[in-house]
Amino acid sequence: MTAAAQAAPALAEQPITIVAPPPGPRARALIARAQTFLSPSLIHCYPLYVERAQGCMVQDVDGNVYLDCMAGIAVAATGHCHPQVAAAIKRQVDTLIHICGTDFHYAGYGALCETLSRLAPGGTNDWQTFLTNSGTEGVEAAIKLARHHTGRHQLIAFRGGFHGRSLGSLSLTASKPKYRTGFGPLLPGVHHASYGVMETIEHDLFTHTVAPEEIAAIVVEPILGEGGYIVPPAAFLRRLRELADRHGIMLVFDEVQCGLGRTGKMFAAEHFGVVPDIIIVAKGIASGLPLGAMMARRSIMTWPSGSHGSTCGGNPVSIAAALATFQLLEDGLVQNAARVGAHLKAGLDRALAGHPSVTDVRGLGLMIGVELDSHDRAEAVANLCFERGLLVLTCGKKAIRLSPPLTLSEAQADVAVTVLAGAVRDAPHGP
């Protein structure tokens, strides 16, 4: 290693640096070669070809360094390649990579389920968990469990909600038509209500479409993710809990994107004082390794042995990453998300105040949405951010979402505010 290389700061400590306007020449060549062999269903929001990442910083193959405020879609909760997570993974791969948790016992599986029970809303430590490979698989498991436990088959979800892309979870998803187009018929017996508006369940669905005693579950994101980073009215989730109790319906919280510290609390449900019957988590649970969890209160986890399973769900390597992730979350990252999230939102409020293109700044913790006045404006702002070294994504119809690693510092939050505000200022403002 040269003296210059030894003196160079770690990637996590580097500032935004654009040395070759993206996509640079190496990125263009590598993307062009790969594109021929990739499924056209992949979106690829930006022509970003990542070489490495550390902390909140991402470097592409041309040497550009970006501040990551999307965290692989809210997955890299502990920052990219956190040394404690990486060390746990390295230790595990030398011991056991796979054996199948459906059929055998091994270290870590029970410990992770016990951790989730201990941390779950309500403080009862009375939860059981089925581990999956993803949030989508967790949703599918929740549908099956709710149907089995209640003996009912119909479901309620919400317009704007995103719950996955496999056929059962896709039947609940109602955030964008493109996710459903061409894939029908979907799961029968799924009804959609307006997010945050109780009357569309009680006065519309229950009056005109379906009787409440036929509903197995109400599936809801406590904070909408893909649908726009929308925080519902304070009473909405409490009223859903009351409605579900009154009619024997399972209340299912999809916390795949908003859970596990993202909002400044371990579970988003804690902001509302509501304890659901079933919770689904994934994304940040293992800092980037494939893992999800479908949790239910013990009295509800009544399906018999063999009724559901997974070959690779909860594999030992992902579990090792998850246990290290939870240690970091409990040791300060949840609190950091609350503190730095408040700092980031306050900075955005100040920087964007009075701007004619900005209609709202909202969110909890490090789950913040900036609503603009049109879809085209949101896309233009997101692309300008990319060109200037800030990674963000759009969501909903016309919002920018910021979901950085929970390790984000106040100084990095200030950089994000500066870049985003400049992109809003410089984006085209014509009709």
Query: pLDDT of 400-429, one tens digit each?
Result: 999 999 999 999 999 999 999 999 999 986
The confidence band for 6, taking pLDDT boundaries of 50, 70 and 90, is: low
Q: pLDDT tens across 112-141, in order?
A: 999 999 999 999 999 999 999 999 999 999
Hey, what are 383's tokens?
């692309």
86 falls within a domain: no
Q: What percent of the chain has pLDDT over 70?
A: 97
pLDDT value for 270: 97
Hey, what are 151's tokens?
């003996």
Same domain, 228 and 297: yes
The answer on pLDDT for 267 being more than 80 is yes
Same domain, 304 and 203: yes
319 falls within a domain: no
pLDDT value for 234: 87
Q: Could you give the angle at which helices 334-352 and 410-426 cross, rounded to 10 degrees?
A: 30
Same domain, 11 and 113: no
Same domain, 305 and 354: no
The answer on pLDDT for 4 being more than 70 is no
233 falls within a domain: yes
Same domain, 114 and 255: yes
Alpha helices in 36-155 (DSSP H): 71-74, 83-93, 109-119, 135-150
Same domain, 104 and 186: yes
The confidence band for 9, taking pLDDT boundaries of 50, 70 and 90, is: confident
Task: Read off the CATH number of the domain in which 245 is found.
Answer: 3.40.640.10
Return the closest-CA partner of residue 388 out of 16, 8, 91, 13.
16
Same domain, 130 and 275: yes
Same domain, 168 and 57: no
Q: What's the mean pLDDT in 55-83?
A: 98
The answer on pLDDT for 163 being more than 80 is yes
Q: pLDDT tens across 346-382, in order?
A: 999 999 999 999 999 999 999 999 999 999 999 999 9
User: What is the pTM for the complete model shown?
Assistant: 0.95
431 falls within a domain: no
Same domain, 293 and 408: no
| Final residue before a domain boundary, out of 263, 280, 314 | 314
Q: What's the mean pLDDT in 296-312?
A: 95
The answer on pLDDT for 70 being more than 60 is yes
DSSP state of 218: E
The answer on pLDDT for 7 being more than 60 is no
pLDDT value for 5: 45
* 252 close to 281: Cβ distance less than 8 angstroms: no
Same domain, 194 and 296: yes
Same domain, 153 and 215: yes
What are 128's strand-pairing partners?
Answer: 296
The answer on pLDDT for 86 being more than 90 is yes
Which range of residues forms the domain containing residue 373? 3-81+334-426
pLDDT value for 1: 43
29 falls within a domain: yes
Alpha helices in 186-287 (DSSP H): 199, 236-247
Task: Read off the CATH number of the domain in which 363 is found.
Answer: 3.90.1150.10
| Final residue before a domain boundary, out of 258, 282, 314 | 314
Same domain, 140 and 254: yes
What average pLDDT does the structure give for the chain? Answer: 96
- Say how far apart CA 58 and CA 66 lie, in whole Å: 5
110 falls within a domain: yes
419 falls within a domain: yes
How does 398-409 read in b/e, with b if 16+ C-beta sit within 10 Å?
bbbbbbbbbbbe
Q: What's the mean pLDDT in 162-184?
A: 94
266 falls within a domain: yes
Total of domains in the chain: 2
Q: pLDDT tens across 283-302, in order?
A: 999 999 999 999 999 999 99
Q: What's the mean pLDDT in 32-54?
A: 95
- Say how far apart CA 410 and CA 294 lie, in whole Å: 33
| Final residue before a domain boundary, out of 267, 286, 314 | 314
Hey, what are 23's tokens?
């996509």
